[in-house]
Amino acid sequence: MPLAGLPGARAAGRRWIGARWLAVATVLLAAACAAGSTPAAQAPAAATGAAAPGADSGSPAAASATAPVPAQDVTVAIPAQSLSTFPIVLGQEAGIYTRHGINLSVVTMASNAAIAAVIGGSVDFATPAGSIVRAINQGAPLRVVAAVSDKSNHILVVDPTVIRDGKDLAGKTIAVNEVGGNTQLEAQAALQRFGLDRDSANYVAVLDNSQRLAALKAGAAQAAISNVPFNLVAEQMGLKVLLNFAEFYELPTAVLGASEAKLADNAPSVQRTVAATLEALRYVRDEKEPAAAAIARLYDMPPDQAAAAYDLSRDTWSATGRLSQTAYENSLDPADVSHALPLDRVVDARFLDAAH
Protein backbone atom coordinates (compact mmCIF):
# COMPACT_ATOMS: atom_id res chain seq x y z
CA MET A 1 0.00 0.00 0.00
CA PRO A 2 1.34 3.47 -0.85
CA LEU A 3 2.40 5.59 2.06
CA ALA A 4 -0.45 8.05 1.41
CA GLY A 5 -2.96 5.26 2.01
CA LEU A 6 -1.75 4.36 5.51
CA PRO A 7 -3.67 5.85 8.46
CA GLY A 8 -1.93 8.99 9.69
CA ALA A 9 0.77 8.75 7.05
CA ARG A 10 -0.51 11.68 5.01
CA ALA A 11 -0.43 14.02 8.00
CA ALA A 12 3.01 12.82 8.97
CA GLY A 13 4.17 13.23 5.39
CA ARG A 14 2.91 16.80 5.35
CA ARG A 15 4.76 17.53 8.59
CA TRP A 16 7.94 16.13 7.08
CA ILE A 17 7.45 18.05 3.83
CA GLY A 18 6.66 21.21 5.73
CA ALA A 19 9.87 20.86 7.70
CA ARG A 20 11.75 20.27 4.49
CA TRP A 21 10.23 23.41 2.96
CA LEU A 22 11.26 25.48 5.96
CA ALA A 23 14.81 24.24 5.60
CA VAL A 24 14.80 25.00 1.88
CA ALA A 25 13.26 28.38 2.62
CA THR A 26 16.10 29.26 4.98
CA VAL A 27 18.70 28.53 2.30
CA LEU A 28 16.83 30.32 -0.48
CA LEU A 29 16.03 33.30 1.70
CA ALA A 30 19.67 33.73 2.61
CA ALA A 31 20.55 33.65 -1.07
CA ALA A 32 17.81 36.13 -1.88
CA CYS A 33 18.94 38.53 0.81
CA ALA A 34 22.52 38.29 -0.39
CA ALA A 35 21.47 39.01 -3.96
CA GLY A 36 19.13 41.78 -2.89
CA SER A 37 15.78 42.76 -4.31
CA THR A 38 14.82 45.72 -6.45
CA PRO A 39 11.95 47.92 -5.27
CA ALA A 40 9.47 48.59 -8.05
CA ALA A 41 7.73 51.45 -6.30
CA GLN A 42 6.80 52.82 -2.89
CA ALA A 43 3.41 54.25 -2.02
CA PRO A 44 3.13 57.25 0.31
CA ALA A 45 2.19 56.63 3.92
CA ALA A 46 -1.50 56.25 4.74
CA ALA A 47 -3.17 57.89 7.69
CA THR A 48 -6.25 55.68 7.91
CA GLY A 49 -7.44 52.25 6.91
CA ALA A 50 -10.63 51.33 5.07
CA ALA A 51 -13.59 50.05 6.99
CA ALA A 52 -14.85 46.59 6.03
CA PRO A 53 -18.63 46.69 5.65
CA GLY A 54 -20.43 44.18 7.79
CA ALA A 55 -17.29 43.07 9.63
CA ASP A 56 -17.74 41.65 13.11
CA SER A 57 -15.35 40.74 15.86
CA GLY A 58 -15.15 37.14 14.65
CA SER A 59 -14.22 37.92 11.03
CA PRO A 60 -10.75 38.46 9.54
CA ALA A 61 -11.86 42.02 8.71
CA ALA A 62 -12.80 42.93 12.26
CA ALA A 63 -9.61 44.75 13.23
CA SER A 64 -9.53 46.65 9.93
CA ALA A 65 -13.16 47.73 10.26
CA THR A 66 -12.34 50.50 12.70
CA ALA A 67 -10.84 53.82 11.62
CA PRO A 68 -8.46 55.44 11.99
CA VAL A 69 -5.86 52.70 12.00
CA PRO A 70 -2.10 53.08 11.74
CA ALA A 71 -0.68 52.50 8.29
CA GLN A 72 1.17 49.22 7.94
CA ASP A 73 4.12 48.39 5.71
CA VAL A 74 3.40 45.49 3.35
CA THR A 75 5.81 44.01 0.81
CA VAL A 76 4.70 42.05 -2.25
CA ALA A 77 7.31 40.08 -4.23
CA ILE A 78 6.76 39.71 -7.98
CA PRO A 79 9.01 37.69 -10.35
CA ALA A 80 9.33 40.60 -12.80
CA GLN A 81 7.43 43.62 -14.07
CA SER A 82 4.61 42.09 -16.13
CA LEU A 83 1.01 42.68 -17.04
CA SER A 84 0.05 39.74 -14.80
CA THR A 85 0.84 41.80 -11.69
CA PHE A 86 -0.01 45.17 -13.25
CA PRO A 87 -3.23 45.61 -11.19
CA ILE A 88 -1.16 45.66 -7.99
CA VAL A 89 1.24 48.26 -9.38
CA LEU A 90 -1.60 50.39 -10.74
CA GLY A 91 -3.45 50.13 -7.44
CA GLN A 92 -0.31 51.34 -5.69
CA GLU A 93 0.06 54.30 -8.06
CA ALA A 94 -3.62 55.21 -7.77
CA GLY A 95 -3.41 55.34 -3.98
CA ILE A 96 -5.82 52.44 -3.44
CA TYR A 97 -3.57 50.60 -1.02
CA THR A 98 -2.86 53.84 0.79
CA ARG A 99 -6.58 54.40 1.37
CA HIS A 100 -6.76 50.95 2.91
CA GLY A 101 -4.00 51.74 5.38
CA ILE A 102 -1.25 49.90 3.51
CA ASN A 103 2.19 51.31 2.71
CA LEU A 104 2.82 48.97 -0.22
CA SER A 105 6.26 48.08 -1.52
CA VAL A 106 6.58 45.94 -4.66
CA VAL A 107 9.91 44.16 -5.08
CA THR A 108 11.22 41.87 -7.81
CA MET A 109 12.44 38.47 -6.65
CA ALA A 110 12.84 35.06 -8.29
CA SER A 111 9.89 32.76 -7.62
CA ASN A 112 11.65 30.27 -5.33
CA ALA A 113 13.34 33.05 -3.38
CA ALA A 114 10.03 34.90 -3.04
CA ILE A 115 8.32 31.81 -1.66
CA ALA A 116 11.18 31.31 0.78
CA ALA A 117 10.97 34.95 1.83
CA VAL A 118 7.23 34.67 2.50
CA ILE A 119 7.73 31.54 4.59
CA GLY A 120 10.60 33.20 6.44
CA GLY A 121 8.59 36.35 7.10
CA SER A 122 10.75 38.95 5.35
CA VAL A 123 8.13 39.38 2.60
CA ASP A 124 4.38 39.49 3.21
CA PHE A 125 3.05 38.18 -0.11
CA ALA A 126 4.36 36.57 -3.27
CA THR A 127 2.60 36.41 -6.64
CA PRO A 128 3.94 33.59 -8.94
CA ALA A 129 0.77 31.51 -9.16
CA GLY A 130 2.01 28.19 -10.51
CA SER A 131 5.02 28.08 -8.20
CA ILE A 132 2.90 28.90 -5.16
CA VAL A 133 0.19 26.35 -5.97
CA ARG A 134 2.73 23.60 -6.57
CA ALA A 135 4.66 24.54 -3.42
CA ILE A 136 1.49 24.24 -1.33
CA ASN A 137 0.84 20.83 -2.83
CA GLN A 138 4.36 19.84 -1.81
CA GLY A 139 3.77 20.84 1.79
CA ALA A 140 4.82 24.50 1.92
CA PRO A 141 2.99 26.37 4.74
CA LEU A 142 1.32 28.86 2.40
CA ARG A 143 -2.18 29.76 1.26
CA VAL A 144 -3.57 31.72 -1.68
CA VAL A 145 -5.75 34.59 -0.46
CA ALA A 146 -6.63 36.21 -3.81
CA ALA A 147 -6.25 35.68 -7.53
CA VAL A 148 -4.86 38.66 -9.46
CA SER A 149 -4.62 37.21 -12.99
CA ASP A 150 -6.67 34.07 -13.49
CA LYS A 151 -6.52 33.61 -17.26
CA SER A 152 -3.58 33.07 -19.53
CA ASN A 153 -1.91 36.25 -20.77
CA HIS A 154 -0.42 34.39 -23.72
CA ILE A 155 -1.21 34.64 -27.41
CA LEU A 156 -0.75 32.25 -30.33
CA VAL A 157 1.34 33.93 -33.02
CA VAL A 158 1.65 32.42 -36.50
CA ASP A 159 3.41 32.95 -39.80
CA PRO A 160 0.46 34.07 -41.95
CA THR A 161 2.12 32.85 -45.14
CA VAL A 162 1.81 29.28 -43.79
CA ILE A 163 -1.02 29.40 -41.24
CA ARG A 164 -4.15 31.08 -42.61
CA ASP A 165 -6.58 29.62 -40.09
CA GLY A 166 -6.51 27.27 -37.13
CA LYS A 167 -6.92 24.11 -39.20
CA ASP A 168 -3.54 24.79 -40.82
CA LEU A 169 -1.78 24.08 -37.50
CA ALA A 170 -2.08 20.32 -38.06
CA GLY A 171 1.37 18.84 -38.65
CA LYS A 172 3.13 22.16 -38.06
CA THR A 173 5.76 23.06 -35.43
CA ILE A 174 4.81 25.29 -32.51
CA ALA A 175 7.51 27.01 -30.45
CA VAL A 176 6.78 26.84 -26.71
CA ASN A 177 8.64 27.89 -23.61
CA GLU A 178 9.12 24.31 -22.42
CA VAL A 179 8.06 20.96 -23.86
CA GLY A 180 5.76 19.42 -21.27
CA GLY A 181 5.15 22.77 -19.58
CA ASN A 182 2.17 25.10 -19.38
CA THR A 183 2.78 26.70 -22.78
CA GLN A 184 2.56 23.30 -24.47
CA LEU A 185 -0.71 22.68 -22.64
CA GLU A 186 -1.93 26.00 -24.00
CA ALA A 187 -0.90 25.04 -27.53
CA GLN A 188 -2.77 21.75 -27.19
CA ALA A 189 -5.84 23.62 -25.93
CA ALA A 190 -5.61 25.86 -29.01
CA LEU A 191 -5.53 22.85 -31.32
CA GLN A 192 -8.64 21.45 -29.68
CA ARG A 193 -10.36 24.82 -29.96
CA PHE A 194 -9.80 24.66 -33.72
CA GLY A 195 -11.22 21.12 -33.87
CA LEU A 196 -7.85 19.36 -34.14
CA ASP A 197 -6.39 16.52 -32.11
CA ARG A 198 -4.25 17.88 -29.27
CA ASP A 199 -1.30 15.81 -30.51
CA SER A 200 -1.55 16.83 -34.16
CA ALA A 201 1.32 19.37 -34.00
CA ASN A 202 5.02 19.22 -33.18
CA TYR A 203 6.73 21.24 -30.46
CA VAL A 204 10.10 22.87 -30.03
CA ALA A 205 11.32 24.48 -26.80
CA VAL A 206 12.58 28.08 -27.09
CA LEU A 207 12.90 29.89 -23.76
CA ASP A 208 12.98 33.53 -24.86
CA ASN A 209 9.94 35.32 -26.32
CA SER A 210 11.98 37.23 -28.88
CA GLN A 211 13.74 34.06 -29.99
CA ARG A 212 10.41 32.27 -30.44
CA LEU A 213 9.28 35.03 -32.79
CA ALA A 214 12.63 34.87 -34.57
CA ALA A 215 12.13 31.13 -35.04
CA LEU A 216 8.91 31.89 -36.92
CA LYS A 217 10.63 34.38 -39.19
CA ALA A 218 13.41 31.86 -39.86
CA GLY A 219 10.96 29.06 -40.67
CA ALA A 220 12.09 26.85 -37.77
CA ALA A 221 8.51 26.99 -36.46
CA GLN A 222 5.22 28.06 -37.97
CA ALA A 223 3.51 29.14 -34.73
CA ALA A 224 4.59 30.21 -31.25
CA ILE A 225 3.15 30.87 -27.82
CA SER A 226 4.08 34.41 -26.82
CA ASN A 227 3.17 37.04 -24.22
CA VAL A 228 1.24 40.25 -24.33
CA PRO A 229 2.66 42.83 -25.20
CA PHE A 230 4.90 40.85 -27.60
CA ASN A 231 1.91 40.90 -29.97
CA LEU A 232 3.10 44.37 -30.94
CA VAL A 233 6.57 43.11 -31.82
CA ALA A 234 5.05 40.19 -33.71
CA GLU A 235 2.85 42.42 -35.83
CA GLN A 236 5.81 44.66 -36.65
CA MET A 237 7.63 41.53 -37.87
CA GLY A 238 4.77 40.68 -40.23
CA LEU A 239 3.44 37.89 -38.02
CA LYS A 240 -0.20 37.42 -37.01
CA VAL A 241 -1.93 36.92 -33.67
CA LEU A 242 -4.24 33.98 -34.34
CA LEU A 243 -5.61 33.50 -30.83
CA ASN A 244 -5.75 35.29 -27.47
CA PHE A 245 -5.83 32.66 -24.71
CA ALA A 246 -7.58 35.07 -22.35
CA GLU A 247 -10.71 34.42 -24.37
CA PHE A 248 -11.06 30.85 -23.15
CA TYR A 249 -8.13 29.40 -21.14
CA GLU A 250 -8.18 29.68 -17.36
CA LEU A 251 -4.61 29.67 -16.07
CA PRO A 252 -3.62 31.74 -13.04
CA THR A 253 -0.41 33.68 -13.57
CA ALA A 254 -0.51 35.92 -10.47
CA VAL A 255 -2.02 35.43 -7.02
CA LEU A 256 -1.47 36.76 -3.53
CA GLY A 257 0.16 33.98 -1.55
CA ALA A 258 0.85 34.38 2.18
CA SER A 259 2.28 32.19 4.90
CA GLU A 260 0.00 30.34 7.28
CA ALA A 261 1.80 32.12 10.11
CA LYS A 262 0.88 35.55 8.71
CA LEU A 263 -2.74 34.54 8.24
CA ALA A 264 -2.88 33.45 11.86
CA ASP A 265 -0.86 36.28 13.43
CA ASN A 266 -1.68 39.31 11.29
CA ALA A 267 -5.15 38.77 9.84
CA PRO A 268 -6.09 42.51 9.87
CA SER A 269 -3.17 43.37 7.59
CA VAL A 270 -4.07 40.50 5.26
CA GLN A 271 -7.68 41.67 5.21
CA ARG A 272 -6.75 45.23 4.26
CA THR A 273 -4.39 44.01 1.55
CA VAL A 274 -6.99 41.68 0.04
CA ALA A 275 -9.67 44.40 0.14
CA ALA A 276 -7.31 46.87 -1.55
CA THR A 277 -6.32 44.31 -4.19
CA LEU A 278 -9.96 43.60 -4.96
CA GLU A 279 -10.56 47.35 -5.42
CA ALA A 280 -7.44 47.58 -7.62
CA LEU A 281 -8.79 44.76 -9.81
CA ARG A 282 -12.08 46.58 -10.26
CA TYR A 283 -10.22 49.79 -11.04
CA VAL A 284 -7.91 48.28 -13.67
CA ARG A 285 -10.81 46.56 -15.44
CA ASP A 286 -13.08 49.62 -15.39
CA GLU A 287 -10.66 52.49 -16.04
CA LYS A 288 -8.96 51.93 -19.37
CA GLU A 289 -7.56 55.44 -19.84
CA PRO A 290 -5.36 55.65 -16.70
CA ALA A 291 -4.48 51.96 -16.98
CA ALA A 292 -3.34 52.27 -20.59
CA ALA A 293 -1.40 55.43 -19.74
CA ALA A 294 0.41 53.54 -16.98
CA ILE A 295 1.21 50.65 -19.36
CA ALA A 296 2.65 53.14 -21.86
CA ARG A 297 4.84 54.63 -19.15
CA LEU A 298 5.99 51.39 -17.53
CA TYR A 299 6.73 49.58 -20.80
CA ASP A 300 7.86 52.60 -22.82
CA MET A 301 5.11 52.11 -25.44
CA PRO A 302 3.35 54.54 -27.72
CA PRO A 303 -0.17 55.27 -26.41
CA ASP A 304 -1.96 53.35 -29.18
CA GLN A 305 0.12 50.24 -28.57
CA ALA A 306 -0.42 50.49 -24.82
CA ALA A 307 -4.16 50.70 -25.42
CA ALA A 308 -4.00 47.59 -27.59
CA ALA A 309 -2.03 45.76 -24.89
CA TYR A 310 -4.65 46.78 -22.34
CA ASP A 311 -7.45 45.42 -24.53
CA LEU A 312 -5.68 42.06 -24.84
CA SER A 313 -4.93 41.92 -21.12
CA ARG A 314 -8.14 43.16 -19.54
CA ASP A 315 -9.86 39.79 -19.34
CA THR A 316 -6.79 38.13 -17.83
CA TRP A 317 -7.25 40.19 -14.63
CA SER A 318 -9.60 38.53 -12.20
CA ALA A 319 -13.07 40.05 -11.86
CA THR A 320 -13.67 38.49 -8.45
CA GLY A 321 -10.29 37.65 -6.92
CA ARG A 322 -11.39 34.02 -6.67
CA LEU A 323 -9.43 31.07 -8.06
CA SER A 324 -11.70 28.66 -9.93
CA GLN A 325 -11.36 24.89 -9.80
CA THR A 326 -10.46 24.81 -13.49
CA ALA A 327 -7.78 27.47 -13.13
CA TYR A 328 -6.38 25.66 -10.11
CA GLU A 329 -6.13 22.34 -11.96
CA ASN A 330 -4.54 24.01 -14.98
CA SER A 331 -1.85 25.52 -12.74
CA LEU A 332 -0.63 22.10 -11.67
CA ASP A 333 1.69 19.82 -13.59
CA PRO A 334 -0.51 17.25 -15.39
CA ALA A 335 0.94 14.32 -13.44
CA ASP A 336 0.08 15.96 -10.13
CA VAL A 337 -3.62 16.64 -10.69
CA SER A 338 -4.87 13.26 -9.49
CA HIS A 339 -2.97 13.68 -6.22
CA ALA A 340 -3.62 17.39 -5.75
CA LEU A 341 -4.96 18.89 -2.57
CA PRO A 342 -8.58 20.06 -2.72
CA LEU A 343 -8.95 23.70 -3.64
CA ASP A 344 -10.09 24.72 -0.17
CA ARG A 345 -6.81 23.41 1.23
CA VAL A 346 -4.90 25.73 -1.11
CA VAL A 347 -7.08 28.86 -0.93
CA ASP A 348 -8.07 30.63 2.27
CA ALA A 349 -11.26 32.38 1.15
CA ARG A 350 -12.14 34.08 4.47
CA PHE A 351 -10.55 37.37 3.49
CA LEU A 352 -12.20 37.58 0.07
CA ASP A 353 -15.54 36.64 1.60
CA ALA A 354 -15.22 39.50 4.09
CA ALA A 355 -14.07 41.96 1.43
CA HIS A 356 -16.95 41.10 -0.90
Q: Quick check: 201 and 172 in contact, CB under 8 A?
A: yes
| The pLDDT of residue 192 | 94
Q: Return the closest-CA partner of residue 76 out of 109, 39, 125, 32.
A: 125
Look at residue 256 in the predicted model and tell me its pLDDT: 98
The HSE-up count of residue 80 (CA atoms within 13 Å, CB side) is 2
Backbone angles phi, psi at 107, to 5 degrees: -125, 150
Q: Where are the alpha helices (DSSP H) in 36-128?
A: 86-93, 96-99, 111-120
pLDDT value of position 320: 96
**Per-residue pLDDT, 337:** 62
Which stretches of the chain drop beneath a pLDDT of 50?
1-20, 22-67
Q: At residue 33, what are phi and psi to the nearest 5 degrees?
A: -65, -35
Is residue 256 helix, strand or coil? strand
Q: What is the pLDDT of residue 207?
A: 81
User: What is the per-residue pLDDT for 333?
Assistant: 66
